[in-house]
Structure 1
Amino acid sequence: MNRQSLIIDCDPGVDDAVALMLAFAAPALELLAVTTVAGNVPGRLTQRNARMMRQIAGREDVPVFGGAERPMKRPPAGAGEFHGPEGLGDLEPFEPAAIVGDGPAANAIVDLVMRRPEGSVAVAVLGPMTNLALAMRREPRLAERLGPVVVMGGARSEGGNITASAEFNIWADPDAAAVVFGSGCSVVAFGLDVTHQVRATEPRIEAIEAVESEPARTATAMLRFSQRVERTVVGWQAAPLHDACPIAWLMAPELFELKPCRIEVETQSDLTRGHTAVEFRVDAAAARHHWAVKADGQGVFDLIAATLGAAA
């Protein structure tokens, strides 16, 4: 089996937690590190939450590095109303046994990518892109050394979830997103257009709940919390599972349909801050960006249940 070397940059977050449980259990992924950023909740909580997920998954071999506490140029934002004040829904927080790694996340990203063969390390960015943008500023050669950068962020036909046209992760640090999309690296973006097709219906949650393991029970708790919040706050019956989509694509790309494009991010206007302008009129052979347009939602949940079940 050819394993994909991967760094996960995230802001756990209930859907980040499900994505981490999937990645920790996936034999096809060589998880080099988890880096954390302030986003859904403050940075001190996101790095603790990532270490909690690592301990629950029994993957203390994977280092966790704390990262940026605020966006590059803007005040910090948060989404506690969708993730709970501690970031992990109803899960009782605890202080994990294993500590956070030495040095900031941006340094860890640079070190891990630059010491490996060109194009071999993928980065999954599941929160604001601050850490990766800072890493690119620190090491100008990073963009050309990266493998695919898979991003949960952006919106086009679905509209935004924080403003009329902006998705939260991009809106939270649009300047960082502009750096990443403008860097020349290969980016596959999983925006709301596709994550809204991957919804945690009751039968899909029950399939994960049936797996007898602590990671599966934790993932189930995250999904049930999201489902309750979605019904109460938004009025939808089944919450979208955003952050697992990039991880699922790395494991099973056939579950998604992508279109080549060019993506630019609005950084000037307060009205449209974080809007992702997705242009499909491009030379497909030369395109460095791809936008996910279709997902097999059932297939994504089947993948999660099967992966957690095999690891149980």
Structure 2
Amino acid sequence: MSLHKIILDCDPGHDDAMAILLALGTPTIELLAITTVVGNQTLEKVTHNAQAILELVGAKQIPIAAGCPRPLVRAIQNAAEVHGISGLDGTHLPEPTMPLDKRHAVDLIIDTLKAHPPKTVTLVPIGGLTNIALTVRKAPEIVELVKEVVLMGGGYHTGNQSAVAEFNIAIDPEAAHIVFNEKWPITMIGLDLTHQAKPNDQIMTDIANLKTPISQFVIESLNYYTEGYRKRNGYSDHAPVHDPCAVAYVINPSLIETRIAPVNIELQGTLTTGMTVTDFRATPAENCHTQVAIKLDNPQLWAMFIDALKYLDK
């Protein structure tokens, strides 16, 4: 069995929790480490949430390190209106007993990359990119060690923090600028793709019918998340679940159609700061290192996710 080794950099967050469960429940994924960054809630809260998720699953052997408590330059923004005061409101999780890794997240990422052969570890950032930007500034040699960066963030047409900027990019656009301008392969799993990642009533029933503590946590998470989306956005559909899409791409890239295109980050626009400016005008140069996700096989995504939940119950 060929393993995909990943480092998951996250800010749990209901959909981050789903991404963690998908990674832990997929036998072809080797989750080497989890690092946390300020985003959906404060660093302290999202780190606690990551620990509690591993406690729930019984995966206490995976190192977790806390990272940056604020963006590189800008004031802290969070998504309490989406994820609540705790970052995982509406759910019930055990208190974590596992200790944090004593290293800063940046150092855990560097050490983990250097402990494995070059081009065998994929970075999967699904929050703001502050940790990843500081990692590459502290140890620029890691660019040649990373297999790929598969990130949840941005959008080539769609924004949510503003008309054109997505939350993970908008909260630290300077960090995103650093990450996107390094010459490692980047796959941007943005809102244009993740808005296709919605469960339906049957999928919710299938998850509930697993009748495990983990599936109950998932139902609590998705119900809270969807209720908030419906109140804010005024629609009756289930809420899109963004972050698992990045992990799903690593597991099986055929689930997601991508297109190679240059991407850069707007830093100074009065109305457009944080925009992931994607240039579809012409055939990209042969050395273009960025691609964007376009189309999702949503039924297969949820089949994969439910299989992961079943695996975690073994």
**Which residue of the partner structure matches residue 246 of structure 1?**
246
Letter in 2 for 1:16: D
**Which residue of the partner structure matches residue 296 of structure 1?**
297
Cα separation, 1, equivalents of 2:262 and 2:76:
28
Distance change (3 Å), C-alpha of 1:284 and 1:260: farther
User: Deviations for 1:184-214, whole angstroms, at most 9, x for unmatched residues?
Assistant: 1111111000001111222222222222322
Cα separation, 1, equivalents of 2:299 and 2:277:
29
Tell me if the contact between 2:53 and 2:93 (Cα under 8 Å) persists in the aligned partners.
Answer: no
Residue 270 of structure 1 and its aligned partner are, at CA, apart by: 3.7
Residue 219 of structure 1 and its aligned partner are, at CA, apart by: 1.6
Tell me if the contact between 2:55 and 2:94 (Cα under 8 Å) persists in the aligned partners.
Answer: no
Query: Mean Cα displacement is larger for which, 5-14 or 223-232?
Result: 223-232
Tell me if the contact between 1:208 and 1:304 (Cα under 8 Å) persists in the aligned partners.
Answer: no
Cα RMSD between the aligned structures?
1.3
**Which residue of the partner structure matches residue 272 of structure 2?**
272
Cα separation, 2, equivalents of 1:73 and 1:282:
35
Residue 283 of structure 1 and its aligned partner are, at CA, apart by: 3.3
Query: Mean Cα displacement is larger for which, 177-186 or 265-274?
Result: 265-274
Residue 298 of structure 1 and its aligned partner are, at CA, apart by: 1.4
**Which residue of the partner structure matches residue 161 of structure 1?**
160
**Which residue of the partner structure matches residue 25 of structure 1?**
25
Letter in 1 for 2:180: F
Residue 59 of structure 1 and its aligned partner are, at CA, apart by: 0.4
Residue 104 of structure 1 and its aligned partner are, at CA, apart by: 0.7
**Which residue of the partner structure matches residue 190 of structure 1?**
189
Cα separation, 2, equivalents of 1:200 and 1:167:
21
Letter in 2 for 1:301: W
**Which residue of the partner structure matches residue 107 of structure 1?**
107
Cα separation, 2, equivalents of 1:147 and 1:270:
35
TM-score, reference length from structure 2: 0.96
1:201 to 2:172 alignment: no
**Which residue of the partner structure matches residue 224 of structure 1?**
223
Distance change (3 Å), C-alpha of 1:248 and 1:284: farther
Tell me if the contact between 1:148 and 1:185 (Cα under 8 Å) persists in the aligned partners.
Answer: yes
User: Deviations for 1:128-173, whole angstroms, at most 9, x for unmatched residues?
Assistant: 000010000000111121111111000122x211111000000010
Query: Mean Cα displacement is larger for which, 200-209 or 80-89?
Result: 200-209
User: Deviations for 1:216-272, whole angstroms, at most 9, x for unmatched residues?
Assistant: 221221111111111111123210010000111111211110001111001122421
Letter in 2 for 1:28: T
Structure-to-structure mapping, 1:5-84, within 5 angstroms: 5-84=5-84
Residue 284 of structure 1 and its aligned partner are, at CA, apart by: 6.0
Identity among equivalent pairs (%): 33
Letter in 2 for 1:9: D
Query: Mean Cα displacement is larger for which, 92-101 or 243-252?
Result: 92-101
**Which residue of the partner structure matches residue 213 of structure 2?**
214
Tell me if the contact between 1:86 and 1:93 (Cα under 8 Å) persists in the aligned partners.
Answer: no
TM-score, reference length from structure 1: 0.97
Letter in 2 for 1:305: I
**Which residue of the partner structure matches residue 143 of structure 1?**
143
